[in-house]
Amino acid sequence: MSSKKVFVRDLVDEYSVRAKNFGDHSSFEFFGVSNEDGITKSKNAAKDKVEDYKIIEQGCFAYNPYRINVGSIAYLDEDIKGFISPAYVVFKTKPKSIIPELLFKFLKSKEGLRQIKLYARGTVRQALRFEDLCKIELTIPHYDEQVKLFEKISLTENETIKLNNETDFQLNIVTQLRQAFLREAMQGKLVPQDKNDEPATELLKRIKAEKEKLIVEGKLKKQKPLPEIKPEEIPYQPPNDLIFVRLQDICHIEKGNIGIMKAAPGDYPLVTLSEERLSDKDYYFDCKAVIIPIISSAGHGKAEMKRMHYQEGMFSVGNILCAVHPFNYENFNARFLFEYMNNYKHAFFVKKMRGAANVSLRLDAIAETPIPIISIKTQNKFEELMQLLDELEKNINQSKEETNLLLQTVLREALEEK
């Protein structure tokens, strides 16, 4: 298959038809572009300025010059016509230059996005004008050969979708297993029951005594006693014999130690709101801990907690999160506490977030969280099961990455310079 290197300008023409020049458009709807959903109906159209809007129809590409750098570009393959904001760039492929879907896949690929960012203008807010888009290069075969190429890519893409659906199903099973093991842990079903195990009532007495000792030794500040735990504070139906204790009675609850932007990169993990860890040259914690965000991940006055974290070893925590770690690891397993609180984070934390613009969570609201008292043998067995599921989940995600990499490889080999 012979290929040649071309510029996008060799393949496309701008399509800038205004509504005022189009004729009858009384039945047209307003559209926009979504990064994930492509062409979508718009809820924010300035309908009083419809005459200035551009026309979009089957075969059109459309993108917002300020959003294309994150992959927000769409191709309309449906037989419809409508309006799109005059701020959008709209274009079509030239006849028999390139299969439109092939160009679309390239512009959404890693190489396509790399060149989009390369040719975008501006420092604070980059924009890709139509003339900038035209500078992008790709390698394509003759038009007749593109049909076979597109069929190959489509076949690989369909197989990728099937495999991704299967891995998503497997990941969902892993999530269900986590929840099932948590239920069994609280029901005392994970390990054989031993009549010699310390009763929960005795453990509760010991927990209180240990906390008093920490206060006397100056390792813990005296706290205001909290009221008895009421049944409505438990977001599920617990076994009748399950006893609960407040989080503040079993754990240190400490605000993060450093402003995330002030941290100097180093050898220690820095836990932030994102899934990936940053790094810090110093560490503040040396323990096993549950990390809970104390600001909403949504912003705009909406209460939301996208994720909590579990962290071990020496690490730092951003000051918009807090670290929760047990007074005594012989009584409470930090991984069990993480899975338990993470499973019920909406009831325990999101519902307690307050604020108009900046929605946040108070440490004393976290301190109120009701924690079940179950045997440490059960908690440790639960952690073992979670570690097995962690490994299984890691393998599933790796398989998914390799599947998606195959599709990117096929596309790269087809449309990038050899």
Model confidence pLDDT, tens digit, residues 172-212: 999 999 999 999 999 989 998 877 777 888 888 888 888 88
Residue 368: burial class (beta carbons within 10 Å; 0-12, 13-18, 19+):
middle
The confidence score (pLDDT) of residue 1 equals 58
Q: Under the phi-then-psi rule, with left for phi > 0, alpha for psi from -120 to 50, and beta for the rest, what region is 85?
A: beta
Output the CA angle 300-301-306, nearest 5 degrees: 80
The confidence score (pLDDT) of residue 154 equals 85
- In three-state form (DSSP H/G/I as H, E/B as E, the rest C), the secondary structure along 226-271 is CCCCCHHHCCCCCCCCCEEEEHHHCEEEEECCECHHHCCCCCEEEE
DSSP 8-class letter at 76? -
- Mean pLDDT value across residues 389-403: 93
The confidence score (pLDDT) of residue 150 equals 84
The confidence score (pLDDT) of residue 201 equals 83
Task: For 9, list phi and psi in degrees, rounded to 5.
Answer: -60, -25
Amino acid 97 reads S
Give the burial string for 11-22 (b: 16+ CB within 10 Å, else e). Answer: bbeebeeebeeb
- Mean pLDDT value across residues 6-28: 90
For residue 372, pLDDT beyond 60: yes
For residue 413, pLDDT beyond 60: yes
Distance between CA atoms of residues 271 and 341, nearest Å: 18
Condensed to tens digits (0 to 9), the pLDDT of residues 261-300 reads 999 999 999 999 999 999 999 999 999 999 999 999 886 7
Q: Is 3.90.220.20 the CATH classification of the domain at 3-141?
A: yes
- In three-state form (DSSP H/G/I as H, E/B as E, the rest C), the secondary structure along 22-43 is CCCCCCCEEEEEECCCEEEECC
Distance between CA atoms of residues 224 and 111, nearest Å: 58
User: What CATH number labels 232-374?
Assistant: 3.90.220.20
**Contacting residues for 37 by C-beta, under 8 A, at least 6 apart:** none
Q: 50 or 381: whose pLDDT is higher?
A: 381
The confidence score (pLDDT) of residue 125 equals 84
The confidence score (pLDDT) of residue 53 equals 92
Mean pLDDT value across the chain: 91
Q: How confident is the model at residue 416 (pLDDT cuts 50, 70, 90)?
A: low
In percent, the amount of the chain with pLDDT more than 70 equals 98
Question: For the CA atoms of 297, 303, 307, 311, what is the dihedral angle to 10 degrees?
Answer: 90
The confidence score (pLDDT) of residue 116 equals 95
Paired tokens of 213: 């000792």
Q: With beta carbons less than 8 A apart as the criterion, state whether 35 and 72 touch.
A: yes
Q: With beta carbons less than 8 A apart as the criterion, state whether 384 and 333 touch.
A: no
Q: What share of the chain is helix, strand, coil (3-state, %, to 5)?
A: 40, 25, 35
Asked which of 16-30, 271-285, 354-368 is least confident by mean pLDDT, the reply is: 16-30
The confidence score (pLDDT) of residue 225 equals 85
Tokens 């659906």 — which residue? 165
- Residue 334: which of 375, 290, 304 has the closest Cα? 290
Asked which of 48-52, 96-100, 373-377, 411-415 is least confident by mean pLDDT, the reply is: 411-415
The confidence score (pLDDT) of residue 234 equals 96
Q: Under the phi-then-psi rule, with left for phi > 0, alpha for psi from -120 to 50, and beta for the rest, what region is 317?
A: beta
Tokens 């104390």 — which residue? 294
- Mean pLDDT value across residues 208-225: 87
Output the CA angle 49-53-55, nearest 5 degrees: 150
- Mean pLDDT value across residues 361-390: 96
Q: How confident is the model at residue 223 (pLDDT cuts 50, 70, 90)?
A: confident
The confidence score (pLDDT) of residue 258 equals 94
For residue 417, pLDDT beyond 60: no
- How distant is the alpha carbon of residue 14 from its chain centre? 35
- Mean pLDDT value across residues 346-362: 92
- Mean pLDDT value across residues 362-380: 95
- Mean pLDDT value across residues 14-43: 88
Paired tokens of 102: 């092939």
Paired tokens of 59: 């075969």
Q: How confident is the model at residue 328 (pLDDT cuts 50, 70, 90)?
A: very high
Three-state DSSP state, 104? helix
- Residue 315: which of 363, 274, 256, 273 has the closest Cα? 256
The confidence score (pLDDT) of residue 415 equals 67
Condensed to tens digits (0 to 9), the pLDDT of residues 119-169 reads 999 877 889 999 999 999 999 888 888 888 888 888 888 888 899 999 999
Q: How confident is the model at residue 2 (pLDDT cuts 50, 70, 90)?
A: confident
Distance between CA atoms of residues 209 and 262, nearest Å: 40
For residue 11, pLDDT beyond 90: yes
